């Protein structure tokens, strides 16, 4: 055998002795989003490392499967790996959306992401919802705290009345509606276009959206509300068809790689939020007493009624499950330290959530 043939044979038999395979991924929110710039590239790099080149990831940031098409895209095999935004599909993910309904609990996005991931991985009903849609859940990311990002100033509660605000989850829609705003539900990938057409006057989002969403030239004001986070995006969801093609060892490698990607994505969100505070031409507004009172009253009301709201949406034993989720946030707030690197966080997430699972059987 020639040297060239030997090299080719080695290339084709990397990993566990099988030909190298490529995962067709769709991050889906455009090339500037952290899914495309941080999470999926890191998943790909780590997966190649953990499988000794046996698997790679090729991402299509936009065009192949839109966010509101992701359930069907994964189920039907149009893509192998994607981000499922659970609040877009409430009828399919009632149980899995519990952390989203409780997104006002906690303030550290790293702890909330880890708690959300552990909750969904260890929730029988949640795993069943993903399985029913031909999917295997591998982790959720979380944004920094949510503020009002607008084209005109919101200095008090009355200023919001009548403004069209894009939101991405029911809980935030409830807050905007309560203050007299007009809710527009649309993917963040459509925000720049909606702003340019004056279809919306802003978005209720984390500051990172100014950078990641490419709207730094359109957003002129940020009113600091600090109301919850967005933890409804299942950032790494594999299709069942992909999972069935993978050995238990390769499944474990993908689960581990996903934690590295998500940890890097959360760090990117935090960095982008910091960068947004330095963008020239954006005024950051401290909320006045009217907004503070409305915010505090909304939090009290939501947390008081959370179990009933969840039960109305079909969540069984909602009170006990809400307590379990809150306890997981407390656990992760204790585990995560301020100086922890994204790499340290990723390995901790894998060790605590996935390492002891039987990957031959998971997610059953």
pLDDT tens-digit map of 311-328: 998 999 999 999 999 999
Judge if 18-143+231-276+321-333+340-354 and 146-229 fold alike in CATH terms: yes
What is the rounded distance in angstroms from the CA atom of residue 160 to the CA atom of residue 201?
A: 10
Q: Where are the beta strands (DSSP E) in 35-177?
A: 55-59, 81-85, 135-139, 146-150, 164-167
Model pLDDT, residue 29: 87
Q: Strand pairing of 233-239 and 81-85?
A: antiparallel
Question: Residue 189: pLDDT above 90?
Answer: no
Distance CA 239, CA 63 (A): 18
3-state secondary structure of 358: coil
Give the pLDDT score at 1: 43
Q: What is the pLDDT of residues 269-299, one digit of tens each?
A: 999 999 999 999 999 999 999 999 999 999 9
More confident residue, 107 or 38: 38
Is residue 343 within 8 A of residue 260, CB to CB? The reply is yes
Q: How far from the centroid of its chain's Cα atoms is residue 290's Cα?
A: 31
User: What is the pLDDT confidence band of residue 12, given thresholds at 50, 70 and 90?
Assistant: very low
**In the chain, where the domains are located:** 18-143+231-276+321-333+340-354, 146-229
pLDDT class for 18, splitting at 50, 70, 90? low
What CATH number labels 146-229? Answer: 3.40.190.10
Q: What percent of the chain has pLDDT over 70?
A: 95
- Cα 283 from chain centre: 27
User: Would you say residue 223 has pLDDT above 80?
Assistant: yes
Whether 248 shows a pLDDT value over 60: the answer reads yes
Task: Single out the residue of 110, 79, 83, 109 nearest to residue 235, CA to CA.
Answer: 83
Q: Phi first, then psi: give them for residue 198, nearest 5 degrees.
A: 60, 25
User: Is pLDDT above 70 for 15?
Assistant: no
Higher pLDDT, residue 251 or 87: 251
* CB 142, CB 230: distance < 8 Å: yes
**The pLDDT of residue 55:** 98
Is the CATH number 3.40.190.170 carried by domain 18-143+231-276+321-333+340-354?
Answer: yes
pTM of the model: 0.88
Please state the rounded mean pLDDT for residues 115-121.
98
* Residues pairing with 166 in the sheet: 184, 203
Percent of the chain with pLDDT over 90: 83
Mean per-residue pLDDT of the chain: 92
User: Does the pLDDT of residue 9 top 80, yes or no?
Assistant: no
> Does residue 149 or residue 5 have the better pLDDT?
149
Output the pLDDT for position 19: 63
């Amino acid at each position: 055998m020639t040297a060239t043939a030997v090299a080719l044979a080695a290339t084709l038999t990397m990993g566990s002795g099988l030909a190298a395979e490529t995962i067709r991924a769709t991050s889906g929110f455009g090339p500037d989003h952290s899914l495309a710039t941080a999470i999926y590239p890191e998943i790909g790099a780590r997966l190649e490392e953990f499988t000794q080149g046996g698997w790679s990831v090729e991402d299509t940031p936009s065009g192949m499967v839109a966010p509101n098409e992701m359930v069907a895209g994964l189920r039907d095999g149009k893509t192998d790996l994607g981000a499922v935004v659970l609040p877009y599909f409430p009828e399919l993910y009632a149980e899995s959306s519990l952390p989203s309904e409780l997104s006002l609990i906690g303030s550290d996005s790293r702890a909330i992401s880890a708690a959300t991931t552990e909750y969904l991985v260890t929730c029988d009903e949640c795993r069943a919802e993903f399985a029913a849609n031909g999917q295997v859940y591998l982790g959720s990311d979380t944004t920094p705290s949510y503020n009002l990002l607008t084209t005109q100033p919101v200095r008090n509660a009355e200023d919001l009345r009548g403004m069209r605000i894009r939101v991405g989850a029911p809980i935030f829609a409830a807050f905007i509606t309560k203050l007299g705003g007009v809710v527009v539900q649309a993917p963040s990938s459509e925000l720049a276009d909606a702003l340019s057409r004056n279809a919306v006057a802003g978005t209720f989002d984390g500051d990172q959206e100014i950078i990641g969403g490419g709207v730094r030239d359109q957003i002129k004001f940020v009113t600091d509300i600090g109301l919850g986070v967005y933890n409804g995006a299942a950032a790494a969801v594999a299709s069942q068809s992909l999972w069935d093609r993978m050995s238990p060892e390769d499944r474990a490698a993908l689960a581990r790689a996903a934690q590295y990607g998500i940890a890097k994505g959360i760090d990117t969100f935090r960095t982008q939020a910091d960068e947004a505070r330095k963008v020239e031409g954006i005024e950051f507004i401290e909320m006045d007493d009217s907004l503070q009172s409305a915010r505090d009253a909304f939090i009290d009301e939501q947390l008081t009624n959370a179990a009933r709201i969840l039960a109305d949406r079909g969540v069984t034993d909602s009170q006990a499950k809400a307590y379990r989720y809150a306890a997981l946030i407390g656990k992760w707030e204790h585990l995560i330290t301020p100086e922890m690197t994204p790499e340290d966080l990723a390995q901790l997430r894998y060790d605590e959530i996935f390492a002891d699972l039987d990957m031959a059987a998971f997610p059953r």
